[in-house]
Each structure stands twice: as C-alpha cells, then as structure tokens.
Amino acid sequence: MREQALAVQRMQDYIDANLDREITLNDLAKESLFSPWYSYRLFREYTGLSPAGYIRRLRLSRSALRLRKENLRIIDLAFELGFRSADGYTRAFFREFGCTPKDYAKNPVPIALFIPYGIKFRELRKDRTTIQKHYMEKLTLEAICGSLYLSPQYVCSVFKQQEGITILDYITDYRIAVAKELLLNNRYQINDVMLMVGYNDAKYFVKVFRKKTGVTPSEYRKMFI
C-alpha cells in the first residue's frame, strides 16, 4: 500500500478515536506525517471529502444511531459532538437526513447513514485485480502483499471477510475458471492449458481440477467438444 494511502488511513483512525473531541487539521497532519496542506489534499483525494466534511458526516451518523438507541436530550448530544448550539446541530442533521433530531428520535425512519470505508480496506480490494492479471505466474501471499506493506496474515483475514474465501482459494477458483474456458478450444493441449493457468505439475493440476469440477480436464473437454 502506498505511503499516501497509509497516511490517510492513520487520519481516519485518529478521527474515529477522537470523534468526541475537537479535531484540527494540524492534529491530522501529525498523524499523517505530512504537512497540513498536503494532508488535506490527500484526505480529499482518497475519501472524496474534506476532513471537516468527513468528520461532520460521521458525527451526524453516529448521533443518529444514539438517538435511535438512547434517550438523550438534543442539546446534550449536540455539545458532545462538538456543535456550538442545539440549533446548529439540528440544522446540520436536517441537511444530512431530511428530518430533525427530535423527529427522528420519536420516529426513527430509515435514513442513509454515512459509513466510512477505511482506505486500507479499499486498497486491499485491488488484490483481486493483481490475482486476475498474474494468475498464470507463481503467486505467493508474500508477493501479493508486498506492495501493500501489510502482513500476509492481516491481508488474508481481511480478504476472507470481504470475499468469503481465502486468497489461495480465490486464486485456485480463478485459475480453474480460466482453464475451463481454455479447454473448450481444441488448439490447446491439456498440458498447455495447465501451464497457461500457472500450474507446472500435471498430476497436481488434474487433482485440483477434479476437486473443483468433479471431473478431470480431459473428461471436461469431452463433455463439451
């Protein structure tokens, strides 16, 4: 993961941990290890929001969750969130959700909450593109994680949360899916297909293919050709 992306993630983490406090651009710059001006530029580039806009939307969404679950006075919640007055909080809440905090507390209708998506998780989704571009090569967890500057264990954990399977299973599934397409073309020998999808051992390729499809590569070809 590029240092700029990691810097934005550090700023996001700081905001999340200090949402009930005053957060300045200088605070965020200290976390990002860049200048305030460059920190602002990076944050806007990666999240699509200014730091102030991001903080405001996150605070309002967190406040909506609390209004739905807790019995709170609007003025107390406003001051907790850093608003200078209940009126200012009410106006901001109405602009964001189309109803007042008071009305929402009485009748919590469905609203579109702002859910921040960590930059590191967005960057991790690029793993799929890496796999799809290099499936024919020898792929290791270390190679996949190298550009992200994150541990293989961490990347595996997050990838499984996002995709529902491990990275290694994803690689295997993708390779077999490509192999099935290539086997429909008589121009390619089975050994050619094996090499084209990143396998070097014919017995292992057949074993994996049968495990995923229930048939061998040659049996699969005969089913369709």
Q: What's residue 20's pLDDT?
A: 82
Whole-number Å distance between alpha carbons of 207 and 210:
5
Confidence of residue 78 (pLDDT cuts 50, 70, 90): confident
- Which residues neighbour 203 within 8 Å (Cβ) at sequence distance 6 or greater? none
- The better pLDDT of the pair 78, 156 is held by 78
Inform me whether the pLDDT recorded for 132 exceeds 70. Answer: no
- The better pLDDT of the pair 120, 82 is held by 82
pLDDT in tens, 14-50: 998 888 888 999 999 999 999 999 999 999 988 888 9
How much is the mean pLDDT over the chain?
82
Confidence of residue 165 (pLDDT cuts 50, 70, 90): confident
Q: What's residue 143's pLDDT?
A: 61
Question: End-to-end alpha-carbon separation of the chain, Å?
Answer: 45
Whole-number Å distance between alpha carbons of 118 and 97:
23
Distance of CA 159 to the CA centre of its chain: 9
Separation in Å, CA 221 to CA 173, 175, 178: 18, 16, 13
Inform me whether the pLDDT recorded for 163 exceeds 80. Answer: no
Both tokens of residue 145?
A: 């994680």
Percent of the chain with pLDDT over 70: 79
pTM above 0.85, yes or no: no
Q: What's residue 82's pLDDT?
A: 80
Torsions phi, psi for 132 (to 5 deg): -70, -25
